[in-house]
Amino acid sequence: MRCWLKRVFMTHGLACLCAALAFAVSGCNNEPPSPPSKSAAAPLPSLVAPPAVSGLTVDVITLGKGIGVDKKVIEPLDIYARTDAIFVAVETTGMGEANIKAKWTFHGDKKAADVGESIEILYATGPTVSSFPLSKPASWRPGDYHVEIFLDDKLAGIKNFTVK
With beta carbons less than 8 A apart as the criterion, state whether 98 and 149 touch: no
> What Cα–Cα distance (Å) separates residue 90 from each residue in 35, 67, 85, 101, 154?
57, 11, 17, 10, 14
Q: With CA atoms as reference, report the closest residue to 65 among 42, 49, 83, 85.
A: 85
At residue 35, the pLDDT reads 56
CATH class held by domain 56-163: mainly beta
The rounded distance, in Å, linking the Cα atoms of 77 and 87 is 10
At residue 34, the pLDDT reads 58
Give the CA angle between residues 133, 163, 73 to the nearest 5°. 35
Task: List, for residues 7-17, the tens digit of each pLDDT value.
Answer: 544 545 555 44
Model's pTM, two decimal places?
Answer: 0.65
Task: List, for residues 76-132, the tens digit of each pLDDT value.
Answer: 999 999 999 999 999 999 999 999 999 999 987 778 899 999 999 999 999 999 999
With beta carbons less than 8 A apart as the criterion, state whether 101 and 150 touch: yes
With beta carbons less than 8 A apart as the criterion, state whether 106 and 115 touch: yes
154, amino acid identity: K
At residue 27, the pLDDT reads 52
Q: Where are the domains of the chain?
A: 56-163
Contacts of 120 (CB under 8 A, 6+ apart): 99, 100, 101, 130, 132
Is the pLDDT assigned to residue 41 strictly greater than 80? no
Q: Tell me, rounded to whole angstroms, the distance of Cα 129 from its chain centroid.
A: 19
Q: Is 89 exposed, middle or buried (0-12, 13-18, 19+ CB in 10 A)?
A: buried
